[in-house]
Amino acid sequence: MRRVEKSSLMSHSEAHIVLLAPLTGPVVPLANVPDPVFSGGMFGDGIGIDPLEGRLVAPCDGVVTHLARTGHAVTLASAEGVEILLHIGIDTVELNGKGFAPMVEQGTQVHAGDVLIEFDQDQVALTAPSLVSVIAIANSDAFEVLERAPAGLARAGETRLLVVRARDGVSHDAAREASAAQVVEEARRQITLTQPGGLHARPAARAREAARAFDARVEVRYDGRKAAIGSVVGLLGLGAGEGASVELLAVGPQAQAAVDAVAHELTREVHGEVEQKPARQPAAAAAAARPTSGEALAPNTLAGVCAAPGVAVGKLVRWDDADLDPPEQASGTSAAESRLLDKAIALVDSDLDTVVRDASQRGAVGEAGIFAVHRVLLEDPTLLDAARDLISLGKSAGFAWREAIRAQIGVLSNVEDALLAERAADLRDIEKRVLRALGYTSSAARVLPDEAVLAAEEFTPSDLSSLDRTRVTALVMARGGATSHAAILARQAGIPALVAIGDALHAIPEGTQVVVNAGTGRLEFAPTELDVERARRERSRLADVREANRRTSQQAAATADGRAIEVAANIATLDDAKAAADNGADSVGLLRTELLFIHRPAAPSADEHRQSYQAIVDALAGRTAIIRTLDVGADKEVDYLTLPPEPNPALGLRGVRLAQVRPDLLDDQLRGLLAVRPLGAVRILLPMITDAAELVRIRKRIDELAREAGRTEPVEVGVMIEVPSAALLADQLAQYADFLSIGTNDLTQYTLAMDRCQPDLAAQADGLHPAVLRLIAATVEGAAKHGKWVGVCGALAGDPLAMPLLVGLGVTELSVDPVSVPGIKARVRTLDYPLCRQRAQDALALDSAQAVRAASRATWPLD
Ligand code: PEP
Ligand code: MG
């Protein structure tokens, strides 16, 4: 790392300032200096010299404001305030002073031509990668280079090397004050992009945010290309996919911290991230997934890739994707067009802000994330600069915007990474939004017939958000991938969707009847009566089963021989609470509170907590709610909490452990929880508890806060069993807890040492692994010693093959997604408890999760 002190000299001059060559040797243009930190201008504008003599002299009169401890670099401040960095050789800091003899000290007043450093050329040349030295204007924001010496030999103290001048409008006093006593650092780091998809939009946006917190300019370099961290579009254009090794470079007072923060963002995986790697079948394989000529495909059938499962029958409707067509030439002045563009962008930004908030409120984290990225793209400097350039050439705002976007789409489409190329759809989306905001209209508002199977080249997220979802029965796309944002939204909306069907899709005439079977990846056009009939039957059979289950879902569930099982719902929002009640959940078994406040700039106050929970309790109409305290950290992030990077966040300050560093957050939440009425409607659940001492400490705090609130009635406190230690110590925990709730998602991750977000391990990270089942059995036994009940709120509770075994192990509450409640209740009613017990004991002795699944399926077949 190089360090250069900046000066705080105070003097004024608008004159040209001449800097003489500080070294003798051939002039090297800055771009040719063999170090990207210098050649990229990150230390400021300047020039290089390949020295022929071992003497560095002052290029002008000035003060030595910094002398590197290792004697290889010095910074001078001229009387006018120009800060000149003189750096001998490349990576010479590594020589640790060997071969350098400084002739000045920090604070020495020098005259042009005075010797600053003598160095042993041969020694330095032998050990450093290059002797090429740099003369850079460290405060290039305040001074610009007007002239530089042409190629040829420069003579130390004689040749005019650079002429600089103060930039217009820059207050030098202010610039100097701002930079006074600051330290300019340079830092670089090579990282490997391990996360699925590599440098895609979400991590790029997060890295940009992370870098903003620091005073440093950061660049990402890959494969001979570079992009400023502020330009997500530029970062995507690097095409750095999974496994790519990229270099991070930063210059500024906080360079190292900035590089570390960016590295952290680019190397970690965030659960629920919208751009998941396609499971096993990458989007790039979309074309390959279509049958080749050798493969038999039924007549009138096209193949695609499943983006959202389901069966649908309907009429093909071409989603008129006619381009919005702004005129090329501006009708007003460039300034007026620029203002129009700014206004349109501001409008779209505020619309998107509302969309993000709404989606967050609904707990639609994926959707919120998609549009949050669109907001970032909207202010991307690469796009804005390109559009403004075109406007200054007399183009209209709309035309300039469209061209700027299309140029970037061109770049992304050339990237050999399907995941990144898919992000072109996001750019198309903001293209349309801004053009609409500029007053250009399209068919977005058109009325659809019933049972419309919408066809398009590729849908954009905003196409889908403006659709009448009640009339759309399926979506089919010529392009796109299973990971495109439109695919994610289709899955969330429960609309079957096929992508990557190819151009043949466009040949199907509008209005043709089609059958979509997304599960098998087939689109049948002009199907026979029989095909239609079969598809309708399958669709209606699935709908009938759902309907029959719903009819009995409001009644309590018990096994056929009478063992009562409470079927509760996992919720995250007020809408979910309504859905839970509607689907017949007996209670709420888990409210994930972190999702209620995910996209907020500040932590919620105690009263905001209270209001949110009160609204949910009211919507539950008498049902109880188990409300979990904030479980942030690891794979769950909230905007208002920027936790310091952790090397291993899943094993770090997550769940209740966060209270060790931010006790105020837990206190405010507990105050809000304790204030909800009626008393008794709420039970508190503590995530990531490790042992009884931790539980006792938090219970004590809950009691104190309850007393402060004047509450005398006890509040029930439960513990999540997510960590193997908690399962093993369940008897101790049950002594102090009112109930235990097993979080099988985390318990599986920590028992099997398999990251729950690692797609390559998704099939193996199965909660039916006998090791996990044994910990569940130990939990129930431990709880039974103190007469406490045990529930399961992890995904295993809603797994039809796992659920009978959980019942057999003694679990009496299953908390599942609201829509799964009717089906799980129906299945509970078919069970025989003694048989469940027997099969559960057998399962504990099996040797793999697959064996357990097979045994369960044999006893309790799926529908
Ligand atoms: C779990 O870990 O199983 C659980 C329910 O908690 P979450 O999925 O929110 O981590
Ligand atoms: Mg968990």
Domains of the chain: 4-182 (2.70.70.10), 186-267 (3.30.1340.10), 301-321+446-540 (3.50.30.10), 334-437 (1.10.274.10), 558-859 (3.20.20.60)
State yes or no: pLDDT of 234 exceeds 90.
Answer: no
CA 276 to chain centre: 10
pLDDT in tens, 265-292: 888 755 434 333 332 233 322 333 333 3
- First-last CA distance in the chain: 64
Report which secondary-structure segment, H or E, holds 369: helix 365-378
Q: Are 575 and 363 in contact (CB under 8 A)?
A: yes
State yes or no: pLDDT of 526 exceeds 70.
Answer: yes
Give me ligand 1 centre to Cα 239, in Å: 34
Residue 94: which of 126, 58, 64 has the closest Cα? 126
Residue 592: which of 817, 430, 286 has the closest Cα? 817
Report which secondary-structure segment, H or E, holds 728: helix 724-728
pLDDT in tens, 62-74: 998 887 777 888 8
3-state class of 575 per DSSP?
A: helix
User: Which ligand 1 atom sits closest to the C-alpha of 793?
Assistant: 5
Q: Is 28 exposed, middle or buried (0-12, 13-18, 19+ CB in 10 A)?
A: buried
Distance CA 28, CA 150 (A): 9
Q: Strands of 46-49's sheet, edge to edge?
A: 109-110, 62-67, 73-77, 83-87, 133-137, 46-49, 25-28, 153-154
631 lines ligand 1 (CB under 6 A): yes
669 lines ligand 1 (CB under 6 A): no
Between residues 2 and 712, the one the model is more confident about? 712
Distance CA 127, CA 122 (A): 9
User: Which ligand 1 atom sits closest to the C-alpha of 745?
Assistant: 3
Residue of minimum CA distance from atom 6 in ligand 1:
743
Residue with tokens 């669709």: 539
pLDDT in tens, 819-850: 889 999 999 999 999 999 999 999 999 999 99
State yes or no: pLDDT of 476 exceeds 80.
Answer: yes
pLDDT in tens, 388-411: 989 988 999 999 999 999 888 877
Mean pLDDT computed over 217-241: 85
Residue of minimum CA distance from atom 9 in ligand 1:
592
C-alpha separations of 616 from 447, 718, 795 in Å: 35, 19, 22
751 lines ligand 1 (CB under 6 A): no
C-alpha separations of 820 from 580, 657, 793 in Å: 10, 31, 13
pLDDT in tens, 415-472: 655 555 566 777 888 888 899 889 886 554 567 889 999 998 878 766 776 677 789 9
Mean pLDDT computed over 746-759: 84
Give me ligand 2 centre to Cα 228, in Å: 37
What's the one-letter identity of residue 328?
E
Q: Please give the share of the chain, as a percent, with pLDDT higher than 90.
A: 47
Distance CA 140, CA 332 (A): 35
Task: Output the pLDDT for position 634.
Answer: 61
Residue of minimum CA distance from atom 3 in ligand 1:
743
Distance CA 759, CA 799 (A): 19
Distance CA 42, CA 134 (A): 12
What is the SS3 string spanning 387-417? HHHHHHCCECHHHHHHHHHHHHHHHHHHCCC
Q: Are 726 and 621 in contact (CB under 8 A)?
A: no
**For the CA of 568, the nearest ligand:** 1
Residue in 60, 757, 793, 836 annotated catalytic: 793
Torsion angle (degrees, nearest 10) of CA 796, 799, 801, 807: 60
User: Which ligand 1 atom sits closest to the C-alpha of 687?
Assistant: 6
Mean pLDDT computed over 287-316: 69
Between residues 443 and 358, the one the model is more confident about? 358
Main-chain dihedrals φ then ψ at residue 334, nearest 5 degrees: -60, -40
Residue in 72, 374, 485, 599 annotated catalytic: 485
What's the one-letter identity of residue 184?
V
Give me ligand 2 centre to Cα 636, in Å: 10
Give me ligand 1 centre to Cα 153, in Å: 68
For 618-629, b/e burial (b = at least 16 CB within 10 A) is ebbeebbbbbbb
State yes or no: pLDDT of 361 exceeds 70.
Answer: no
238 pLDDT band, cuts 50/70/90, is confident
Between residues 616 and 541, the one the model is more confident about? 616
553 lines ligand 1 (CB under 6 A): no
Mean pLDDT computed over 475-497: 73
Give me ligand 1 centre to Cα 596, in Å: 15
For residue 793, indicate whether it is catalytic.
yes
Ligand 1 site-directed mutation target among 571, 598, 744, 746, most atoms within 8 Å of CB: 746
Between residues 841 and 201, the one the model is more confident about? 841
Mean pLDDT computed over 682-705: 97
Torsion angle (degrees, nearest 10) of CA 199, 201, 202, 204: 50
Give me ligand 1 centre to Cα 3, in Å: 46
Residues making up the chain, counted from first to last: 863
Report which secondary-structure segment, H or E, holds 185: strand 183-192
DSSP 668: H
User: Considering the entire predicted model, what is its pTM?
Assistant: 0.53
